[in-house]
Structure 1
Amino acid sequence: MLSFDRLLPDDFGFSSLVKACGSLGGKQVHGNFLVSPFFDDDVVKLSLVDMYAKCGLPDNGRLVLDSNKLKNMASWTAMIYGYARKGRKEEALELFSRVPVKDLFAWTALISGLVQSGDAVDAFGLFVEMRRKGISIIDPLVLSSIVGASANLAMLELGKQVHGFVIRLGHESCVFISNDLVDMYAKCSDILAARDVFSRMSRRDIVSSTSIMVGAAQHGQAEEALSLFDKMVLSGVKPMK
């Protein structure tokens, strides 16, 4: 249990504590915050909104958001993501409709959350709508989500189109994008394409190595999977426990 009997944090301390807490600890800090002299501090409330959204408690975050006079883009996107990730699409869309500036990060929060909840079809529809509105993709995170959606749907042709789009935007060199592409091709049963992306990666990590090994093993290439494992260990990448 958290105890503030001897030392009461100020507003900065509360904000820092919330950011460092998970769900249980965050609730304890929230309770202490409510009975402190800083109970109406907008900055601390924004930290609480973000914490509750990330901990899968969007309703708690929404209560804090609605009580807050200050609503910045970070709090809006956190709540949109929190609802979308829980599969509560209607609430996520309702909040999205109220966002004062529908920038790339708001779109990414909505699309990524839907992909994580398993709603890849709607996520693709929103991605297409985002592109039609001319939103510039200056950050590749939304592309990672869309590649992941292709993998979840096991739609190879769609995945190839997304891959081509990634190349045109110049984001194929991003490690996490390449990891997603390897995983997508492996899940779509195109192990040759997965191997091609893997071979052209300038830097590989445990995610990309595991994806290509699992893909090879699932397609009856056990010897290659073992060979890839040996190469991974020799390259210094530690296997997951």
Structure 2
Amino acid sequence: MKTLLTTMSALALGALTANAVTLASYDSGVAAQAGAAGAADPTSQGWSAVIGTNTYLVGQDTGNGGWNLSDGTNSGVVYYEHSLDAAATTEMANGWTLDFTVASDNDLFDTGGGSLDNWVTSSRQQANVWIENSTAGYFYLLTITHDPADGSVSIGDGTNTFLVGTDLVSQQVGDGAPAMNFIDFTLTYDAGTGTATLTDSEGGNNAIASAGTGSSDRLIFGTTSSGSLGSTTWNSVTLDSVPEPSSALLTGLGGLALILRRRK
């Protein structure tokens, strides 16, 4: 009986995930770790770039496992946007998951005479992930903030801020390669309850508040503020739909229930 139940459960889970659709994704193509070079340009994977005039660096992070976005000593918006068409919003009607892997750098630069200057202050160490849907009316804007003083990383939803962990911020001297501390995040939207939950690889699990009513259909990563980037390295961003249970699955579960009744 236990073997039968395990088998049927596995088939049911397989049916639930078999038809998931990837609606937007960025894959750097390299490992999320120091020493991994050659990250892909997001624009080569269907993303539109919005890059301010004061950005310091946008491109492959030198051997650091992803695509780096930095605004340097000045401030400038820099983000990548992916439109979600009508087919995508239809796919999202049953729910979705947004997975992203990102690391934060505390950059130090030689200002002359061997003196190192930390041009990034704690107030500017921020990055955003933004997902908006006009049909369902939700708008989630997550802000990742890191503090160079203690290496802590937090994430906020506009209502609450959650500590992800400490000693997670990498220190980078010039354009060198630090030991990167990548964090995996998963934002899951349950269409049935209209709620979202964020989990992370440091053990966090938090209910996330919507930042408002969506008026567009798009996914963004980078920063949407001209005064709050700092330096971040993005390894991957993936938006997947959650499919509706298929008729085959429902039939299978009904058959399982019948078998269990007969065995009793």
TM-score with structure 1 length normalisation? 0.27
More strand by share: 2
TM-score with structure 2 length normalisation? 0.25
